[in-house]
Amino acid sequence: MVFNSLEFLIFFPIVLLLYFFVVPKKYNWVMLLAASYYFYLTWKWQLIYLIVFTTVVSFVSGIVISRAQKKSTKKFFLVLTLTVCLGILFFYKYFNFLSTSVTGVINAFGGNAKDFTLDLILPVGISFYTFQTLSYVIDVYRGTTPVETHFGYYALYVSFFPQLVAGPIERPENLLPQLKTEHKLDAGNAAEGLRKMILGYFKKVVVADLFATYVVSVYSDVQNANGFTVLVATVLFAVQIYCDFSGYTDIAIGCAEIMGIKLMQNFNRPYTAKSIKEFWGRWHISLSSWFKDYIYIPLGGNRVSRFRNCLNIMIVFLVSGLWHGAAWTFVVWGVLHGLYQVIGKFTFRPRNKMWEKIGISPDGKLVGAIRTFNTFMLAAFAWIFFRANSFADLKVLLTKLFTDWSFSPSFFIDSLTSMGLDLVAILTCIISVVILSMLDKTRLASDERRAKPDFRYAYLVWAIAFAWILLLAGDGASSFIYFQF
């Protein structure tokens, strides 16, 4: 069941009806837990035992850690939880990747290793709910969050259906208390939640799914691509993946908000960032903050030597690349973002001095615009590694991007025609996303709940109408990109 499916459009109103009007408040957790497990069962019911087992192990470990007197006992159960949860994640997500890599190395050096991959199905959302359980156990071990002794509430924290399969990756101190609180139907929460859901559907169904067709035309047929089509497809993919993932997040946050539950912000206009470091403070915030709190800071963060700090950054982004996918293309993507940050750290002051020498303020609007453009292009270039289907395709894409160009008008026209681009539709979508982003920024900056209501809600009526027309007229609900992680 995906958010942009008819099944969900039936499922969610039933959940709301039960939540607010049918089930007694003190048993709402039972209903939400059942609904969340049903939501997960619709994906692959045979794998439900994985999330249940992970939940049980982390719940029991949390209780033992909170009650143990000896530090060695606490550490043992922390390590046990990390081993079990990460072990399950590794087996299902990385076993075949590791086996093929080892086989490839052995054969490259003249060996004769046979294939020993397994027929494994990646459990949907496993990377997300694994990190959520780990944050709980680590925080209990650190003493920064109280232990949860009610298994039902904890199981709901792990499996809460709006953010179960693609985040945001919630922290126990934010979500658990809200799950225990009685929530009444509130007109303000309902209106704001519905607004976010509408924006999410617009981003996904109208923008991301449209752009996906153009991106696929290049990335699935790399031999017939040229430098210009690779460039256009890559920029469109940058927009596609943002609208796809932030669209899911908007719907998830909106669903929860209608029920009175506030999930953390996961995106904050990332393509307006002026550096890659700032980009990661705005993109997939729940994941980047997780890596910061549980890997970067424990490694020493920036409280160490410059070399060690750069090493810490590279380790975090290497792990980030692996988290996103079991392929070397994702590893390189992560390493590339780490290099961006290290290089940016070393060149920040020289770049500022360069602008000052030519009489331009490094904090001015001109430099800010240049830095925003450069950051977007660096992020977009890295997306090539993320989107490429294989290293063989990646080699072709990069070669064509830097060599296969002609600067005649017919070259550009023929390239766009070969992709089947509808420029009017593309420009309308991009302008719409920019306007929606600006409206959201205006709303957040306003002290009142509704800023410029006439313009906003008239625009949203147009957006939702467009979304539903395409949804009902399409070939079926398409999955979200981050479901594969």
CB 124 within 8 A of CB 93: no
Q: Both tokens of residue 132? A: 């959520």
Map out the domains of the chain as residue ranges.
Answer: 6-185, 203-484
- Given the residues 183, 284, 324, 337, the one annotated as active site: 324
Axis-axis angle for helices 391-403, 328-357 (nearest 10) = 30
Known catalytic residue: 324?
yes
Write the burial class of residue 208 (CB in 10 Å: 0-12 exposed, 13-18 middle, 19+ buried): buried
Encode the chain (485 residues) as per-residue pLDDT tens digits: 788 888 888 999 999 999 999 989 889 999 999 999 999 998 888 888 999 999 999 999 999 999 998 999 999 999 999 999 999 999 998 888 888 888 877 777 777 777 777 888 888 889 999 999 999 999 999 999 999 999 999 999 999 999 998 879 999 999 999 999 999 998 888 888 888 888 888 888 888 888 999 999 999 999 999 999 999 999 999 999 999 999 999 999 999 999 999 999 999 999 999 999 999 999 999 999 999 999 999 999 889 998 999 999 999 999 999 998 888 899 999 999 999 999 999 998 898 889 888 888 888 899 999 999 999 999 999 999 999 999 999 999 999 999 999 888 889 888 888 888 888 888 888 887 777 777 666 555 554 444 444 455 555 555 655 665 555 445 555 777 766 66
d(CA 69, CA 176): 25
The region that residue 261 occupies, defined by phi over 0 for left and psi between -120 and 50 for alpha, beta otherwise, is beta
